[in-house]
Amino acid sequence: MPMALLALAVGAFGIGTTEFVMMGLLPDVADDLRVSIPVAGHLVSAYALGVVIGAPLLAAVTARMSRRTVLVALMALFVFGNALSAFAPDERWLLAARFLSGLPHGAFFGVGAVVATSLVAPERKARSVSLMFLGLTVANVAGVPVATLVGQHFGWRAAFLGVSVIGLVAIASLGLLLPRDEAPRHTSGGGLRGELAALCSLPVWLALGTTVAGFGALFAAYSYIAPMLTSAAGYADASVTMLLALFGVGATVGNLVGGRLADHSLRGTLFGGLVSLVAVLALFPVLMGTAWTAALAVTLLGTAAFVTGSPLQLMVMEKAATAPSLASSANQAAFNLANAGGAWIGGLALGAGLGVTSPAVAGAGLAVLGVGVAVVAYVVDVRRGVAARRGVLGRVVASHVPREAGAVRRG
């Protein structure tokens, strides 16, 4: 694997750290800015909104630019947003800074996935995407806990300054390791209009729908993992951080395994990951009964969910082959819609008094929906393939029949 993938992973590490560190620093931020924790929670939503808006918008605007230049520019915007967060004087400025920090997130992963697949042989595309995503999963193991500790001991502003430094390292890595490339060339039917048209197809939307349902299942449970571990499994509050690191370990393993398996069978890996996610989430109420099985459940949740990460990203890119950057970025927006939607559905189950582990059961239902959408996508692909083969066969037959008829008349 080329060293350029390391530069992409460093950028992913910084983005993953800043995305999740706010959750651990919410009490500190709320106290310092003199706002309530629910109001401070809007800072998490502001970042997610920035991702959803920025992913397709920035990918479309930069479609005619060199991808190396785009990635460096996106990371520069990321550094600026985090530095602005560190010096925000009040909650409104911090809200705007968090929104700005989220804008480059989806486009970076979207364009980065296209660059990653262009650096390797066709049989290693999924593995290259998984190595870029490795930065995101390692951020949950190391980046977020370290940044949280820095924020708790030196102030939350120091955490965002530290993330800005990671961004500067990523910019240097991208500049040194990524090969120079030319701006993508578009045919007469290409350009921005062509890329947007490529997204308006049923297979692309089914792939995006699978992402929303599958990762919505993850976030329905993961958003409420702390009360499950403390109330159901009996862990102390101080142990939750270590258990969340186990989730990151599981996600890292699942990401790497999923990338390798998807290079052999893309759809088989996707179905296997989704079915595994259904099983893990359905067993959560039982696994949360003891301390050691709860730790196992958290690890398996990360593994099962992230097995599907690379296959989903690659599938969306393949379904929109003429607009890979835009489609890949749109898939990142779908990930964040899954984050918001999954947390909302899990909260509904919890608020309805169905029990502290009910968000996981709700997540299992979403995972079943994801399997259903994936099945529909498979059926659509099969039917389109059959129709295409019949069309080719019909044209071949039509091109030969007149000749044979003319030969008979001449005979």
Per residue in 266-289, pLDDT tens? Answer: 899 999 999 999 999 999 999 999
Q: In sequence order, what DSSP letters do the residues of 238-306 get, joined into one string?
A: GGHHHHHHHHHHHHHHHHHHHHHHHTT-HHHHHHHHHHHHHHHHHTHHHHTTSHHHHHHHHHHHHHHHH
pLDDT reading at 396 higher than 60? no
pLDDT reading at 71 higher than 50? yes
pLDDT reading at 261 higher than 60? yes
CATH number of domain containing 47: 1.20.1250.20
Q: Give the SS3 label for residue 164.
A: helix
Q: Is residue 186 part of a domain?
A: no
- Do 163 and 211 lie in one domain? The reply is no
User: Residue 283: which of 367, 350, 351, 216 has the closest Cα?
Assistant: 367
Residue 19's pLDDT band, with cuts at 50, 70 and 90, is confident
Per residue in 42-66, pLDDT tens? Answer: 887 788 889 888 888 888 888 778 8
- Do 121 and 201 lie in one domain? The reply is no
pLDDT on residue 372: 95
- Do 177 and 303 lie in one domain? The reply is no
Count of all residues that appear for the chain in the document: 411
pLDDT on residue 411: 46
- Do 170 and 199 lie in one domain? The reply is no
- Do 176 and 202 lie in one domain? The reply is no
- Do 352 and 409 lie in one domain? The reply is yes
- Do 126 and 201 lie in one domain? The reply is no
Q: Which residue did the predictor score with more confidence, 95 or 35?
A: 95
- Take residue 260 and report the two structure tokens written for it: 């390798």
Rounded mean pLDDT of 34-38?
A: 78
Say if CB 5 and CB 130 are below 8 A apart: no
- Do 177 and 243 lie in one domain? The reply is no
* Range among 4-8, 134-138, 168-172, 351-355 rated most confident: 168-172
pTM, full prediction: 0.80
Work out the percent of the chain whose per-residue pLDDT is above 70.
88
Say if CB 55 and CB 105 are below 8 A apart: yes
Which of 181, 209, 235 is the C-terminal boundary of a domain?
181
Say if CB 367 and CB 359 are below 8 A apart: no
User: Residue 347: which of 335, 332, 363 has the closest Cα?
Assistant: 363
pLDDT on residue 390: 61
Q: How many CA atoms lie within 13 A of 407 on its CB side?
A: 5
pLDDT on residue 189: 47
- Do 220 and 138 lie in one domain? The reply is no
Per residue in 175-228, pLDDT tens? Answer: 999 888 766 655 444 555 666 666 778 888 999 999 999 999 998 888 888 888
Per residue in 295-323, pLDDT tens? Answer: 999 999 999 999 998 898 888 888 877 77
Per residue in 130-185, pLDDT tens? Answer: 888 888 888 888 888 888 888 888 999 999 999 999 999 999 999 999 888 766 65
Rounded mean pLDDT of 120-131?
A: 87
Domain that residue 153 falls in: 1-181
Residue 352's identity, in one-letter code, is: A
Question: CA-CA distances (angstroms) from residue 164 to 60, 84, 147, 219?
Answer: 25, 10, 12, 27
User: Residue 345: which of 207, 218, 233, 211 has the closest Cα?
Assistant: 218
Which of 181, 216, 237 is the C-terminal boundary of a domain?
181
Q: Is residue 101 part of a domain?
A: yes
Q: How many distinct structural domains can be found in the chain?
A: 2
Which of 138, 158, 181 is the C-terminal boundary of a domain?
181
Question: CA-CA distances (angstroms) from residue 272 to 269, 306, 321?
Answer: 5, 11, 25
Rounded mean pLDDT of 75-90?
A: 94
- Do 250 and 365 lie in one domain? The reply is yes
- Do 145 and 210 lie in one domain? The reply is no
pLDDT on residue 60: 81
Q: What distance lies between CA 232 and its chain's CA centroid? A: 29
Residue 341's identity, in one-letter code, is: G
- Do 101 and 209 lie in one domain? The reply is no
Measure the CA–CA gap between 389 and 386, rounded to whole angstroms.
5
Measure the CA–CA gap between 73 and 21, rounded to whole angstroms.
23
In 10 A of CB 370, how many CB atoms? 30
By mean pLDDT, which of 241-245, 282-286, 345-349 is the weakest? 241-245
